[in-house]
Amino acid sequence: MRVFLSRQRVRWRRDLLPGRSEMSMIRRLLVVFAASLFAVVVGQASGLGTALEATTEPGVASVITSPSPLDCVEEDSAEAQLISVEPMPCSRMLVIGRWAAITDQRRDVLDLSFGEVRRVLRGEVLDWSELGGSEQPLTVILPISQAGAIGEALGIPFVELAVEFVPEDELTERVARTPGAFALIEPERLEVGVLALTVNGHDPYQDPARQSPLRQVRWVRARTPQEAVQRLAERRTQVADRFDPVGMAMTGELIPVRCSNHVMANLNDYEVMFDGVRDVLIDADIAVAPLEHPLIQTQDLTPCVETVVFTGSHRAAPAIANAGIDVVLTIGNHMMDCWGGCSGVAALYETLDRLHGLGIVTAGAGESLQAAREPALVNVRTEQGDVTFAFLGYDIIAPWYHAEEDQPGTAPLVAEYVRRDISAASKLADHVLVGANWGVEYVADPVAYQRDLAGVAMDAGATFLFGNHPHWVQAIEHFGDQLVAYSFGNFVFDQNWSIATTQGMLMELGFTKDRLIGYRIRPVVIRAHSPQLPWFYRPEFVDPAGEGRPIMNRIWNATDRLPARSAPAATIPENEN
Note whether residue 514 is domain-resident.
Answer: yes
Boundary-marking domain end, from 194, 213, 232: 213
Identify which of 60, 93, 102 has the alpha carbon closest to the alpha carbon of residue 220. 93
- Does residue 148 sit in the same domain as residue 233? no
Residue 280 contacts residue 508 (beta carbons within 8 Å): yes
For residues 486 and 473, what is the distance between their CA atoms, to the nearest angstrom? Answer: 8
Residue 518, sorted as left (phi over 0), alpha (psi -120 to 50) or beta, turns out to be: left
Residue 90: the pLDDT is: 86
For residues 369 and 348, what is the distance between their CA atoms, to the nearest angstrom? Answer: 14
Strands of the sheet with 111-112, listed across from one edge: 111-112, 194-199, 100-104, 181-185, 139-143, 164-166
- Does residue 429 sit in the same domain as residue 327? yes
- Does residue 155 sit in the same domain as residue 228? no
- Does residue 189 sit in the same domain as residue 265? no
- Does residue 181 sit in the same domain as residue 49? no
- Does residue 227 sit in the same domain as residue 137? no
Residue 460: the pLDDT is: 98
Cβ neighbours around 310 below 10 Å, total: 23
Q: What is the largest CA-CA distance in the chain?
A: 86
Which residue pairs from 199-204 have beta carbons closer than 8 angstroms and sit at least 24 positions apart in sequence?
Answer: 199/101, 199/111, 199/112, 199/113, 199/114, 199/117, 200/113, 200/114, 201/111, 203/247, 203/508, 203/510, 204/100, 204/101, 204/245, 204/510, 204/518
Residues whose CB is less than 8 angstroms from the CB of residue 41 and which lie 6 or more positions away in sequence, other chains included: 52, 53, 54, 62
Count of structural domains, the chain: 3
For residues 488 and 466, what is the distance between their CA atoms, to the nearest angstrom? Answer: 8
Three-state DSSP at 391 gives strand
Outline where DSSP puts E strands in 414-511.
431-437, 464-468, 476-479, 482-485, 490-492, 503-511
- Does residue 549 sit in the same domain as residue 499? yes
For residues 500 and 536, what is the distance between their CA atoms, to the nearest angstrom? Answer: 13
- Does residue 445 sit in the same domain as residue 350? yes
Note whether residue 403 is domain-resident.
Answer: yes
Note whether residue 343 is domain-resident.
Answer: yes
Angle, alpha carbons 528-532-538 (nearest 5°)? 20
Cβ neighbours around 142 below 10 Å, total: 23
For residues 62 and 152, what is the distance between their CA atoms, to the nearest angstrom? Answer: 21
Residue 385, sorted as left (phi over 0), alpha (psi -120 to 50) or beta, turns out to be: left
Residue 60: the pLDDT is: 57
For residues 228 and 216, what is the distance between their CA atoms, to the nearest angstrom? Answer: 16
For residues 60 and 44, what is the distance between their CA atoms, to the nearest angstrom? Answer: 16
Q: Which CATH number fits the domain that encloses residue 202?
A: 3.40.190.10
Note whether residue 21 is domain-resident.
Answer: no
Amino acid at 283: D
- Does residue 186 sit in the same domain as residue 323? no
Q: Which CATH number fits the domain that encloses residue 481?
A: 3.60.21.10
Residue 299: the pLDDT is: 86
Residue 59: the pLDDT is: 54
Note whether residue 555 is domain-resident.
Answer: yes
- Does residue 222 sit in the same domain as residue 358? no
Residue 134: the pLDDT is: 97
- Does residue 347 sit in the same domain as residue 469? yes
Burial 271-297 (b: 16+ CB within 10 A, else e): bbbbebbbebbbbbbbbbbbbbbbbbe
Residue 78: the pLDDT is: 53
Residue 397: the pLDDT is: 98
Q: In which domain, by residue range, is 545 found?
A: 246-561
Residue 205 contacts residue 245 (beta carbons within 8 Å): yes
For residues 434 and 430, what is the distance between their CA atoms, to the nearest angstrom? Answer: 13
Low-confidence ranges of the chain (pLDDT < 50): 1-4, 6-56, 62-70, 74, 76, 569-570, 574-577
- Does residue 407 sit in the same domain as residue 394? yes
Q: What is the pTM of this model?
A: 0.87
For the stretch 271-301, pLDDT in tens is 999 999 999 999 999 999 999 999 999 989 9
Note whether residue 381 is domain-resident.
Answer: yes
Note whether residue 319 is domain-resident.
Answer: yes
Note whether residue 569 is domain-resident.
Answer: no
